[in-house]
Amino acid sequence: MERYKSAIPRAGAHELAGYLLFLPTIVVGPINRFDDYRRDLNRQRLDPALISEGAERILYGYAKIVILSNFLTEGVLGDYIATFDDPAAQHVIYLEIVQNGLNLYFQFSGYSDIAIGFARLLGYRVMENFNWPYLQPNISAFWRSWHISLSRWCRDYVYSVVVAQTRSPALGAMATMIAIGLWHEISLRFLLWGAWHGIGLIVWQKSQGWTTRFEQALPESALPVLHVAKVVFTVHFVWLGFVILTAGTPGAALETYGRLFGLID
């Protein structure tokens, strides 16, 4: 697409093959833009500082996966959840949702850290893929901090195109999130997961006017509390969306929601 838009010059076959088969990012990303890859390819050299950064980043990624994900989230938290007798109890379902959300972040961001570090060992600077997504105050900020490389690609080649053609930010948001969902897997569950976030973004877009006025009317001392409340709401919206993926089927997801909110015994 970038070549079609004349955003980058024509590439040779060896450059294109190297880009498509770039080992550090070929499995889990981040999605490295071709112009960034070519820039580092042309100036590639052994850089002791970059090698040191890369090794440190790889260790950081492994620590996330081994300590935070495998040991604490799956092990300690998983063992605690297993102590409850009723797996269908509301608090157990909630803890499992929290566990899944934390584990997914630690695993995904940990592998991204390893990929970024591996690339730096080879002399390449690959873009960051996560920026504290679970501490963001709204769903738009979350998607600017989660899987950043994919989000930016879809912003440039889905959202911008749809909005330019339709003049509808809402339609652009929905199309973008469905594209992100189907990018992971072409299936009903990922389509619904994308639509979940599309709806969240549309609601956020439409509510900006009155939420801004509400915040301006509050005393300054209340703003930190409001910020924490927004972060808590956003992260729970994200975690509840993951239920669509982990439940397996839409019916199972609805059953999980029903039990969580006390609508089903």
- What's the pTM value of the predicted model, to 2 decimals? 0.87
Provide mean pLDDT across the span 28-49. 67
Provide mean pLDDT across the span 56-81. 96
Q: Is residue 9's pLDDT more than 80? A: no
Tokens 């301006």, residue? 216
Could you tell me the CA-to-CA distances from 203 to 43, 121, 198, 217, 223 in Å, in that order?
A: 45, 43, 9, 21, 21
Question: Cα-Cα-Cα-Cα dihedral of 216, 219, 220, 221, to 10°?
Answer: -150
Question: CB within 8 A of 158, min separation 6: which ones?
Answer: 172, 175, 176, 179
Instruction: Give me the pLDDT at residue 181, please.
Output: 97
Q: Is residue 4's pLDDT more than 90? A: no
Greater confidence (143 vs 124) lies with: 143
Q: Is residue 166's pLDDT more than 80? A: yes
* Cβ atoms of 234 and 174 closer than 8 Å: no
Q: Is residue 18's pLDDT more than 60? A: no
Q: Which residues of 109-141 are buried (b: 16+ CB within 10 A; e: fewer)?
A: bbbbbbbbbbbbbbbbbbbebbeebbebbbbbb
Whether 14 is a known active-site residue: answer: no
Question: CB within 8 A of 48, min separation 6: which ones?
Answer: none
Confidence category of residue 69, pLDDT binned at 50, 70, 90: very high
Catalytic residue among 184, 197, 227, 236: 184
Instruction: Give me the pLDDT at residue 42, please.
Output: 60
Instruction: Give me the pLDDT at residue 244, please.
Output: 97
